[in-house]
């Protein structure tokens, strides 16, 4: 089974768009991908009265993005796994309630954190503790930018700090193509962190380096669709000079373990019940 752990939508108003989802599924299947992980909905919007922006979304936007993710999973449970998008700058009571709503009572199976606050921020701690209790993975954005980080964008060194503070949580650090060689070395001492292969365009030798330093079980395939192309991003793994065994792990087996795809299926939750 081939699993893409890093996929978005770009639905205006966070509304479910059957055409957008059908295109995503068709192109992923064309590229031989069997399952994808919906992280959050990417939409641009101006800062609101409380100062929230798309980089640090309001509680209402977080809920809308998670409603969309739950709808996508409910419509296509055989293809989509969904993560609960959170902003650690919010009141922890809201954040923990959102985890209960979307993961415990809902159909989402992990947490997505982007660039609202740095990974070193103590405001991540309550949600990380809950992730440890629920045994669900946390996918966290990371990048090294020579021209300055965007907002409170974390570096791989900051992801390493998060991993050290929360050794029981499986962390997926996004964007091998963004953190590159230095990022691989940052997370190497922390076995609870894997890196996804997304970020920028394929660079010769980078996947090979990550496999050599971390072991093939600590690398997972991610595309960052629709910002990047499923097939091109998958080819960084299929075209790498690594063993077929390593490729099978990166393209699916490692993610299946992290996502607990072997766990008992979710209790039947009707759409009416979930979106009422
Ligand atoms: Zn992304």
Give tens-digit pLDDT for 228-250: 999 999 999 999 999 999 999 99
Q: What is the pLDDT of residues 60-91, one digit of tens each?
A: 999 999 999 999 999 999 999 999 999 999 99
Which residues share a beta bridge with 60?
Answer: none
Q: Please report how the helices 176-187 and 206-214 are oriented relative to each other, as an axis angle in degrees rounded to 10.
A: 20
Q: What is the predicted pLDDT for the residue at 266?
A: 47
The separation between CA 20 and the C-alpha centre of its own chain, rounded to angstroms, equals 19
For residue 151, give every residue at least 6 positions away whose Cβ sits within 8 Å of its Cβ, in sequence order, or none: 55, 56, 115, 116
Query: How far does residue 272's CA lie from ligand 1's centre (Å)?
Result: 29
Mean pLDDT, range 108-112, rounded to an integer: 97
Strands 80-82 and 35-41: parallel
Tell me the pLDDT of the chain averaged across its residues.
94
User: At which residue do the structure tokens 């590159």 appear?
Assistant: 180
Task: Give the distance from CA 150 to its chain's centroid.
Answer: 18
pLDDT of residue 32: 98
CA of 40 to the centre of ligand 1 (A): 8
Residue 155 and residue 139: Cα distance in Å, rounded? 14
Class of domain 3-275: alpha beta
pLDDT above 80: residue 101: yes
| Ligand 1 center from residue 224 Cα (angstroms) | 5
Distance 7 CA to ligand 1 centre (A): 6
Ligand 1 centroid–CA 212 distance in Å is 25
- Distance between Cα 175 and ligand 1 center (Å): 8
Kindly give the distance from the C-alpha atom of residue 6 to the centroid of ligand 1, in angstroms, as a whole number: 6
Confidence (pLDDT) at 264: 59
Q: How do beta strands 111-113 and 219-220 pair?
A: unpaired
């Amino acid at each position: 089974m081939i699993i893409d752990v890093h996929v978005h939508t770009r639905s205006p108003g966070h509304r479910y768009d059957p055409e957008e989802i059908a295109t995503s599924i068709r192109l992923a299947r064309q590229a031989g991908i069997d399952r994808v992980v919906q992280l959050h909905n990417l939409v641009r919007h101006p800062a609101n009265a409380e100062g929230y922006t798309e980089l640090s979304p309001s509680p209402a936007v977080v809920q809308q993005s998670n409603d969309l993710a739950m709808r996508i999973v409910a419509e296509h449970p055989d293809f989509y796994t969904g993560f609960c998008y959170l902003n650690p700058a919010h009141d922890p009571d809201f954040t923990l309630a959102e985890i209960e709503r979307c993961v415990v009572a809902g159909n989402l199976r992990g947490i997505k954190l982007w660039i609202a606050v740095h990974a070193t921020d103590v405001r991540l701690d309550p949600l990380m503790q809950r992730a440890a209790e629920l045994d669900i993975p946390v996918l966290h954005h990371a990048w090294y930018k020579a021209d300055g980080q965007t907002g409170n964008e974390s570096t791989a060194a900051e992801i390493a700090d998060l991993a050290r503070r929360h050794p029981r949580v499986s962390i997926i650090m996004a964007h091998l193509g963004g953190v590159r060689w230095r990022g691989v070395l940052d997370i190497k001492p922390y076995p609870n962190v894997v890196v996804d292969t997304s970020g920028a365009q394929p660079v010769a030798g980078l996947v090979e380096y990550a496999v050599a330093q971390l072991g093939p079980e600590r690398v997972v395939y991610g595309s960052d669709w629709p910002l990047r192309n499923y097939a091109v991003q998958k080819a960084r793994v299929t075209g790498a000079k690594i063993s077929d065994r390593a490729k099978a792990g990166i393209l699916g087996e490692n993610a299946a373990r992290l996502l607990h795809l072997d766990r008992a299926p979710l209790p039947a939750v009707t759409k009416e019940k979930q979106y009422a």
